[in-house]
Amino acid sequence: MRGGRHGADEGGRRPIPAGMARIMMGERCGNGDARTASGTLNEREALLERFVAVRKLTDALAVSLSAEDQCIQPMPDASPTKWHLGHTTWFFETVILAALVPDYRRVDERFAYLFNSYYESLGPRLPRPRRGMITRPGIEEVRRYRAEIDRRMACFLRSCDPHVWESARMLTVLGLNHEQQHQELILTDIKYALSLNPFEPAYGPRKHVSGGGPAIRFEWLDSTGGTVVVGHETKPGFAYDNEMPRHSVILAPYRLGNRPVTCGEYLDFMADGGYRRPELWLSDGWGCACSEGWVSPLYWRDEGRDGWSMFTLHGRRAIDPDEPVCHVSFYEAAAYATWAGARLPTEFEWEAAASGELVAGNLLDPEFVHPQAAVAGEGLLQAFGDVWEWTRSSYDPYPGFRPMEGVVAEYNGKFMVGQLVLRGGSCASPPGHLRATYRNFFPPAARWQFSGIRLAQDVS
Ligand SMILES: [Fe+2]
């Protein structure tokens, strides 16, 4: 990621290459423009293929939603689907095309104000809580914007000068990972929005999923700790700046739960007065639980003699006690751990345990987005997918951390205060997006992500 050249004035003094002119004039740009020097034909086509696949998945996530569904903003933290569609497109247009194409002309200058998320260096923007007020452009215009930037990006990736290829490649990979993050947010944000609809409509029908049944028995997995190396190498492969540099940490002997905490186990906590016993809670957490009136995870509802139900993206239904508990805040996770005679893992304990695991699991499938019970296997189960796992680690820079250069320096580093790290990904994380070093982060009171609990203990 470092070394990306994306200054707004880069290349402005060069004559406009023919392929670039076509990008701006709306002409077609076919394979005949593909360069063979830096950025071989195969490299360029492979990246373009990935670009198309990621963009299509985003479009697919919105296909079952009405225009009205895609416009509302149920709380400041949850953005409308339409805004996600526009923002991810704006990211490619701003960070890549506007920066690397000489004399680039934007599709619509107003979109910079509407779809800039938090980049101070890119000028004024619509305040976040007002994203739901964007009734115009309508969804069809945003879709046309996406299609036009898809066309320009395809043309650019096929025909850009060899000397900008490396910057183009790195920034496109960043843009694709950025879009994948928003794919998850589209799902978590629309889930929150639909849950507030008086009739709690489903995002989509649940595809038949085989399996189910009793969750595998809880066990502790002991680790001797010691000096472990965490974080991502600068190369090869993509990682965000917040995962680097790779460095050593010392871990005391510890143990982790073999699977995340289930709904059934969490019901035991609730039945034992978990939400009524301040001694189990961090002071801030207890204050938050009281002021917000929390008595259960988000989306749960007491149905009296019928027990508890939960809203899912596939409609409301009874709690499945074998599924991982989901939509809990850090505060709830920490209170549960205290009640269970345990604690939450540090992010490094989690990474050391998960680094040998295959990055696979219950990941994003638009037809079924919900955590599933762990019914088979041994060792560390569900490390990836199902639910993000709260850690006890503050989201801090690693020793020697350097933000990416240019506009994207604002991507991660400036959020490194007041947030907790989550690890492992969820059922809404797209395949191909996760790795053992991946650091997600949210404030401790956040509950609308697919966030759950894995227990840890010291080994004395
Ligand atoms: Fe973003």
| SS3 state of residue 41 | helix
What band does 374 get if pLDDT is binned at 50, 70 and 90?
Answer: very high
| SS3 state of residue 333 | helix
Residues in Cβ contact with 89 at an 8 Å cutoff, skipping those fewer than 6 apart: 115, 142, 145, 146, 149
CA of 87 to the centre of ligand 1 (A): 7
Q: Are 262 and 336 in contact (CB under 8 A)?
A: no
Q: What is the arrangement of strands in the sheet containing 308-312, beginning at the earlier edge strand?
A: 300-302, 308-312, 315-318
CA of 322 to the centre of ligand 1 (A): 34
CA of 418 to the centre of ligand 1 (A): 19
The answer, yes or no, to whether residue 8 has pLDDT greater than 60, is no
- Condensed to tens digits (0 to 9), the pLDDT of residues 85-138 reads 999 999 999 999 999 999 999 999 999 999 999 999 999 999 999 999 999 999
Strands 451-452 and 388-394 come out as parallel
CA of 179 to the centre of ligand 1 (A): 7
CA of 377 to the centre of ligand 1 (A): 36
Q: What is the pTM of this model?
A: 0.93
CA of 427 to the centre of ligand 1 (A): 20
Q: Which range, of 159-163, 203-207, 355-359, averages the lowest pLDDT?
A: 203-207
Mean pLDDT (whole number) for 370-377: 95
Mean pLDDT, all residues of the chain:
92
Strands 315-318 and 308-312 come out as antiparallel
Structure tokens that stand for 292 in this block: 């917000």
CA distances from 339 to 255, 291, 443 (A): 17, 21, 22
CA of 236 to the centre of ligand 1 (A): 24
Closest CA relative to residue 19, chosen from 152, 159, 148: 159
- Condensed to tens digits (0 to 9), the pLDDT of residues 448-457 reads 999 999 999 9
CA of 366 to the centre of ligand 1 (A): 20
The answer, yes or no, to whether residue 262 has pLDDT greater than 70, is yes
User: What is the full DSSP assignment across 363-412?
Assistant: ---TT--S-----S--SS-SSSBSSEEEEEEE--PPTT--PPSGGGGGSS
| SS3 state of residue 4 | coil
- Condensed to tens digits (0 to 9), the pLDDT of residues 46-93 reads 999 999 999 999 999 999 999 999 999 999 999 999 999 999 999 999
Mean pLDDT (whole number) for 174-200: 98
Mean pLDDT (whole number) for 376-389: 97
CA of 118 to the centre of ligand 1 (A): 8
- Condensed to tens digits (0 to 9), the pLDDT of residues 142-153 reads 999 999 999 999
Q: Are 54 and 180 in contact (CB under 8 A)?
A: yes
CA of 131 to the centre of ligand 1 (A): 13
Q: Which range, of 99-108, 205-214, 327-336, averages the lowest pLDDT?
A: 205-214
The pLDDT value recorded for residue 37 is 45
The pLDDT value recorded for residue 32 is 43
The answer, yes or no, to whether residue 9 has pLDDT greater than 90, is no
CA of 135 to the centre of ligand 1 (A): 20
CA of 320 to the centre of ligand 1 (A): 33
Closest CA relative to residue 367, chosen from 57, 72, 51, 85: 57
CA of 254 to the centre of ligand 1 (A): 36
Direct distance between the N- and C-terminal alpha carbons of the chain, in angstroms, rounded to an integer? 42
- Condensed to tens digits (0 to 9), the pLDDT of residues 11-43 reads 233 344 444 555 554 455 544 444 444 678 899
CA of 178 to the centre of ligand 1 (A): 6
CA of 174 to the centre of ligand 1 (A): 11
CA of 357 to the centre of ligand 1 (A): 29
CA of 116 to the centre of ligand 1 (A): 8
Tokens 């999923």 — which residue? 209
The pLDDT value recorded for residue 235 is 83
The answer, yes or no, to whether residue 167 has pLDDT greater than 70, is yes
CA of 187 to the centre of ligand 1 (A): 14
CA of 117 to the centre of ligand 1 (A): 6
The pLDDT value recorded for residue 47 is 98
CA of 96 to the centre of ligand 1 (A): 14
The pLDDT value recorded for residue 74 is 95
The pLDDT value recorded for residue 38 is 67
CA of 185 to the centre of ligand 1 (A): 10
CA of 170 to the centre of ligand 1 (A): 17
Mean pLDDT (whole number) for 311-333: 97
The pLDDT value recorded for residue 208 is 60
Q: What is the rounded CA–CA span in Å between residue 402 and residue 112?
A: 27
The pLDDT value recorded for residue 282 is 98
CA of 149 to the centre of ligand 1 (A): 16
What band does 460 get if pLDDT is binned at 50, 70 and 90?
Answer: confident
The pLDDT value recorded for residue 11 is 29
The pLDDT value recorded for residue 16 is 42
How much of the chain exceeds pLDDT 90, in percent? 87
Q: What is the rounded CA–CA span in Å between residue 88 and residue 57?
A: 13
